[in-house]
A and B are shown apart, each in its own frame.
Chain A
Amino acid sequence: MFEAADAVILARVQFAFTVSFHFIFPAFSIGLASYLAVLEGLWLRTGRQVYLDLFRYWLKIFAVTFAMGVVSGIVMSYQFGTNWAVFSDKAGPVIGPLMAYEVLTAFFLEAGFLGVMLFGMERVGRKLHFFATLMVAAGTAVSAFWILSANSWMQTPTGYEIGPNGQFLPGESWIAIIFNPSFPYRLVHTVLAAYLTTAFAVGAVGAWHLMKDRANDHARTMFSMAMWMAALVAPIQIFAGDQHGLNTLEHQPAKVMAMEGHYRSHPDGAPFIVAGIPDSTAQRIDYAIEIPKASSLILKHDPDAPLAGLDTIPEDERPPVGPVFWAFRVMPGIGFAMAGLGLRSLVGRGRGRPSDWPVMQRAAREMGPAAFVGVVAGWMVTEIGLQPYTVNGLLRTADSASPLDAPAVGASLIAFVIVYFAVFGTGTWYLLRLMGAAPRVHELGVRRTEKGPVRSGGITPGPARRVGGPVSAGEEE
């Protein structure tokens, strides 16, 4: 059935599919780990029960998210070899060490302290447990550092030499490889995106519970915290995104042309196309709604500055316009909506308590899922915009694939699709169920027992829990 299909296309679909699924989980767990550290820190400082309850509430969600991130991540670390063997052979000497550092400095750190974070508070005490939480949070951030460095090197390769057998070899300095030109921008933009995604997930859950019960203090606290994040971080993110875009214009102009939908060059001021339907055959945007000169204003800070279009790029070096163009409408659109909601919350704060703004709560509830869409859209802009290369300008995607026959790649693609939808679909359902349960006083931790005395298992020092005392209500088992 796959005889007609191209093995490279199938391998690309498989990579896009598995990495899209995978990306969602770390984007959530990077932010959530930090949020948990903040909650536990606040609890240790203030002693307020509400922070401990929220910590436990989100810890259960974190455990499920993290497990899905780990297993989908292992798939990624082998996907390079199974489907992209030529890329692995050629870029391994440069990319490989960055990923090895990710494993050594991040994955082990997260995994090593995760067990203590989830189950160990009674065994190690509060201080050491807080340390474990901090280490897990640090691990997620360090992981982002290395993997985004590797990804950025593929976008803007520097510091390499080409070996006699066509391999990319590291040059004199690893600094030039790690801190390649697009890395600082991509790192800031992506990590902020992870924090915002988490903030809006937390905000949506808080909003949902506030809409059901206006008196729920726990929901109010998380909603309020989330809106602070939105108000402070979303505007910074817009600035960071703009800077990242300027950096891309400098190093990957073809990607920006696709993002803007500029098939043609504009010698005296390019318009910003708000919406339209890209037609790559005719090389134009149909039904375009344009703001004249706005694109030049954004990208060059001068309304009359000339901007080159895809007509200046050889045809076989152009990224596909459609998906990049559309993803670049979705991502900033969601970003501006986040900033708008955040700023609106500041106005509201002057007038009353967050629990009293039903319209905002409804908006925040809708923005939770939208945040994840925004993250995936951002990833699509950057990766599809890199096409037709895997290492920008140097190694083509078509020349990177393994020597596999299409049916082999197709069969494994089908297996991944079925298993991912079944397993991660179920996992997402469990996450939604956890989020659907209202946070409450004396929230229970991650417990691991079938029956026997019901306890606030694992995460304690639990509230007023006496051996042989009354069973606290509502244990989820």
Chain B
Amino acid sequence: MFDLTIVWAFIIAFGIFAYVVMDGFDLGIGILFPSFAVGDERDQAMNSIAPVWDGNETWLVLGGGGLFAAFPLAYAIILPASYPLIVAMLLGLVFRGVAFEFRWRDPGHRPFWDMAFFGGSLVAALAQGMILGAILQGIAVADRAYAGSWFDWLTPYTLLTGIGVVAGYALLGASWLVWKTEGSGQEHAYRLAWRALLATLALLVAVSLYTPLLDAQYWRRWFAMPGVLFAAQVPLLTAIVSGFLFLALRKRRQAAPFFLSLCIFLLGMAGLGVSMWPYVVPDTVTIWDAAAPHRSQAFMLVGVALTMPLILAYTGWAYWVFRGKVGNEGYH
């Protein structure tokens, strides 16, 4: 029979990946926002994500809600452990979420809401990256609860992962704009994508080298035979994809840079799998320790099986409706 816990681990991983790539590009646009010229360039950038950002953010609720439902113990440990980061992320998302509407409602304060859009996106991305780092570096657990202190989440390593995610989101955002805009806005997006790619790769390498030094466990996972034969494919493929991405940017491809950027994130996710599987809190709590009982998992699996194809279908349809270049007149 299927092990539902494994099935659910993959569903949650899929949800997190869907969130990271979808909200990643619109957070990335927020991070890059101050570099866009006031007026058409900013409006185009905003217009390109206005119809879809809300759906993108729903994946974050699925990630949180799904973790709560399928792995309640992990939810109950990770959230208190990264408490200030979660709060910062939520408040960041508040600012950037309302900015979508507020900047149109109040032209007099539009510069303020544009900054709120930028600041909120930056804080949310940084916090998400640091939460990832805080999980990877390990969480003190005692008696089914977080047992660490206030600032366990603040280390050089978590700062590095935080900045890494910011750079990665900027890459997604810039390559999305390459796809969705034209003219001078697109030229600008190409330049941004180029820089964001360099930054992302540099930080990816730094994190990849730092992680095995954190804990002997990571070292074994990445460098011991025979696992290394599988694990080594991840950096190898990342290098190949990055090469293609550089080429695509140089040849002024329209859609390819975005999808290649997605591939880099997918490989990052695979690398994360190599480092963590089958733990949700490294070295302490496995997916089986944290799992909800079989009945909860089975009940939700029915829901996922019935709704996920529909969700993907109408989400795809919504993107399809707003396909093509944005232009500078909103959607017409």
Q: CB-defined interface of B272-305 with A at 8 Å, one 1/0 digit per residue?
A: 0000000000000000000011011001100110
Q: Does B246 contact A (CB under 8 A)?
A: no
Closest-CB distance, B284 to chain A (whole angstroms): 15
Contact between chains at A113 and B318 (CB < 8 Å): yes
Contact between chains at B76 and A96 (CB < 8 Å): no
Residue from A81, A93, A114 within 8 A of B80 (CB atoms) = A81
Q: Chain A's interface: helix, strand, loop or mixed, by majority?
A: helix
Contact between chains at A99 and B68 (CB < 8 Å): yes
B87 contact set on A, CB distance < 8 A: 82, 412, 415-416
Contact between chains at A82 and B83 (CB < 8 Å): yes
B14 contact set on A, CB distance < 8 A: none
Closest-CB distance, B277 to chain A (whole angstroms): 22
Docked CA distance A292–B230 (Å): 80
Contacts A70-B54, A71-B98 given; does A101 touch B91 at CB 8 Å: no
Q: CB-defined interface of B122-140 with A at 8 Å, one 1/0 digit per residue?
A: 0000000000000000000
Which of B24-32, B143-151, B262-270 lies on the face that meets chain A?
B143-151
Q: Does B106 contact A (CB under 8 A)?
A: yes
Contact between chains at B299 and A174 (CB < 8 Å): yes
Docked CA distance A372–B84 (Å): 32
Count contacts between A and B, CB distance < 8 Å: 273
Contact between chains at B322 and A77 (CB < 8 Å): no
Interface size on B, residues (CB 8 A): 75
Closest-CB distance, B27 to chain A (whole angstroms): 13
Docked CA distance A77–B42 (Å): 31
Q: Does A85 contact B (CB under 8 A)?
A: yes
A128 to chain B: closest residue by CB: B321
Q: A residues 104-152 with Cβ under 8 Å of B?
A: 104-105, 107-116, 118-120, 122-124, 135
Contact between chains at A96 and B94 (CB < 8 Å): no
A88 to chain B: closest residue by CB: B76
Contact between chains at B311 and A70 (CB < 8 Å): no
Contacts A111-B54, A449-B330 given; does A89 touch B97 at CB 8 Å: no
Which of A45-53, A385-393, A401-409 lies on the face that meets chain B?
A401-409
Q: CB-defined interface of B61-83 with A at 8 Å, one 1/0 digit per residue?
A: 11011101110110111111001
Q: A residues 278-292 with Cβ under 8 Å of B?
A: none
Closest-CB distance, A131 to chain B (whole angstroms): 10
Which of A197-205, A354-362, A426-434 lies on the face that meets chain B?
A426-434
Q: A residues 66-113 with Cβ under 8 Å of B?
A: 66-68, 70-75, 77-78, 80-82, 85-86, 88-89, 92-97, 99-105, 107-113
A451 contact set on B, CB distance < 8 A: 39-40
Docked CA distance A96–B61 (Å): 12
Docked CA distance A326–B72 (Å): 37
Closest-CB distance, B323 to chain A (whole angstroms): 9
Contacts A86-B145, A116-B321, A458-B330 given; does A169 touch B293 at CB 8 Å: yes
Contact between chains at A120 and B51 (CB < 8 Å): yes
The listed residue with most A CB atoms (<10 A of its CB), out of B73, B94, B146, B314, is B94
Residue from B145, B293, B308, B331 within 8 A of A85 (CB atoms) = B145
Q: Does A346 contact B (CB under 8 A)?
A: no
Contact between chains at B50 and A448 (CB < 8 Å): yes
Q: Besides the contacts A97-B303, A402-B76, what 13 more A-B pairs have beta carbons closer than 8 Å?
A: A82-B79, A85-B80, A88-B75, A89-B73, A100-B69, A108-B58, A112-B317, A115-B318, A119-B51, A120-B331, A408-B83, A430-B101, A455-B329
In the assembled complex, 24 residue pairs joining A and B whose CB atoms fall closer than 8 Å, in A order, are A72-B94, A80-B68, A81-B80, A81-B86, A92-B76, A92-B292, A95-B68, A100-B65, A100-B69, A103-B66, A108-B311, A114-B54, A115-B52, A115-B54, A120-B51, A124-B321, A170-B295, A403-B145, A412-B84, A423-B98, A430-B105, A448-B330, A449-B328, A452-B329
Q: 10 closest Cβ contacts across the A-B interface? A: A92-B72, A96-B69, A115-B51, A81-B79, A448-B330, A71-B97, A89-B76, A111-B55, A85-B76, A449-B330
